[in-house]
Amino acid sequence: MKQPSYKNLKLDPSTIINLEKGKLPPQAIDLEEVVLGAMMIDKKGVDEVIDILTPESFYKEIHQNIFDAIFKLFQRSEPIDLLTVSNQLKKDGTHNKVGGDFYLISLTQKVSSSAHIEFHARIILQKFIQRSLIKISNEIISDSYDESKDVFDLLDNAESKLYDVTQGNIKKSSETAQSLVIQAKNKIESISNKKGLSGIPSGFNKIDKLTAGWQQSDLVIIAARPGMGKTALALSMASNIAIENKIPLAFFSLEMSSIQLITRMISSETGLDSNKLRTGKLEKHEWEQLNIRVKNLEKAPLYIDDTPSLSIFDLRAKARRLVSQKKVKIIIVDYLQLMTAGGNMKIGNREQEISTISRNLKALAKELSIPVIALSQLSRLVEGRTSKRPLLSDLRESGAIEQDADIVSFIYRPEYYKIDTWDDNDRSSTEGEAEFIVSKHRNGGLENIRIRFIPALGKFEDLDNFESPYEFHSKMNAAANDDTFKENEQGEEDLPF
């Protein structure tokens, strides 16, 4: 059989067109050259784009090397110009790789100033995001064909990767000690210049003094036996954070409906007995009190989700959206044992499932860089002891909770157990008082902090700021009968206290 000859083979014109239309990764090589050139001739250009781009943002590898050299000089606060960049590339061993001084000179000749450099840098970043999306999409497609992978894991991984892109922080494999030290120093400096707490205030003075506020990436466990007031404390903190400090907060309630939660917050805010709110039997002045004092709650950046049997997968998905869309800064989960792992994962027994949930809550706090507060039940071991004060070993169903958490705290109300006096030297009365016990604090000290509990309002307060319900209602009644009980022009109450 005669073999075909390829010597005089001619390509079909349509084939040539198809090759010309072949897909290339999104890129802006000309803008990469202009940006790098501008950074070497004008310090202002460096300041404008250094926090926008990373070496990975550049398409050409040699441009990655050059930007990395500029970034190192910037970190050391050294001058950035043609000579210093050239010397840094020699130190890095990439000078010849990028084309030597000839290529660096050619970059500076392409631009005369750093005008529009930020605009150009953002186009480079857009191309990088497009390439990242293509890479992630290919990984998702490849994983989706793998029958051995759980579909809910695939969804979670896909959403996590896409979330990283939307936040502009494509995950890096590792960071150098030098980079981390600089980040840490910058954080310490920003904290020193910041007035007040470094974290999110709980609204309880002694707790905030101990913790410096709830810190980013921390998992905080607040545990107690039923009836101790876990939800009441969580709602008191939510009120202090979202209403008083206007900090966006998400509250995931697996035990109570959203209407029940908001009713309890209304009671706390207005000073109206929760039983009266449940029955609707309010006096005229109490209706006025309700309508006026509830306005701050209406304006609060508070987001409540009461999905029952919420899985950790659903929580992570919802949390990412809330942080991205609503700028939520802290999450509260009520409570941990009512959650499920979700998906078709074979977790094993309940203890292993709780461990998975706890581990994922910590991962969520770290991923979103916000504090996550999770309420937790305690085992019945407390009831069988002479001393009812909770211990770390009382955490229900899993020791992993203690391991994963940055802070483990307990609520203890002796009055609940008919204990009339505290076990201190003064033997003071326990009536209306509770202890917030910090038993584990990864980055600080331990302490038992006394706080006030107001059962009628379902509310916790600082002891020194406490005002009894009788005093509160007396003032409200006096104000209701006074002509000064009215709204001012801004819609705020004009009360005589």
- List residues with catalytic annotation: 255
Distances from the Cα of 195 to the Cαs of 171, 190, 210, 212, 248, in angstroms?
31, 10, 17, 12, 19
d(CA 197, CA 188): 12
**Exposure string for 226-255, b = 16+ CB within 10 A, e = fewer:** eebbbbbbbbbbbbbbbbebebbbbbbbbe
* C-beta separation of 339 from 312 below 8 A: yes
User: What is the side-by-side strand order in the sheet with 447-454?
Assistant: 302-305, 249-253, 330-334, 372-377, 219-224, 407-412, 433-441, 447-454, 459-462
- Computed on alpha carbons and rounded to an integer, the radius of gyration of the chain in Å comes to 30
Sign of the alpha-carbon torsion through 87, 89, 92, 97 = negative
Cβ 65 vs Cβ 89: under 8 Å: yes
The DSSP string of 183-238 is: HHHHHHHHHHHSSS-SSB--S-HHHHHHHSSBPTT-EEEEEE-TTS-HHHHHHHHH
Q: Which tokens belong to 106?
A: 């050619």
SS3 content of the chain, % helix, strand, coil (to 5): 50, 15, 35
Structure token pair of residue 171: 């995950």
Residue 156: CB atoms within 10 Å: 20
The label of the residue with tokens 């809910």 reads 152
Taking the C-alpha atoms of residue 394 and residue 377, their distance in angstroms, rounded to an integer, is 9
Q: Which residues contact 307 (CB under 8 A, 6 or more apart)?
A: 252, 254, 314
- What distance in Å separates the CA atoms of residue 245 and residue 261, rounded to the nearest whole number? 19
Residues 6+ apart with CB under 8 A from 334: 230, 231, 234, 251, 252, 253, 254, 255, 256, 375
* Six token digits for residue 92: 């890095």
**In angstroms, rounded to a whole number, what is the distance separating the alpha carbons of residues 495 and 487?**
9
Q: Which amino acid is at 119?
A: F
Alpha-carbon gap, residue 493 to 497, rounded angstroms: 10
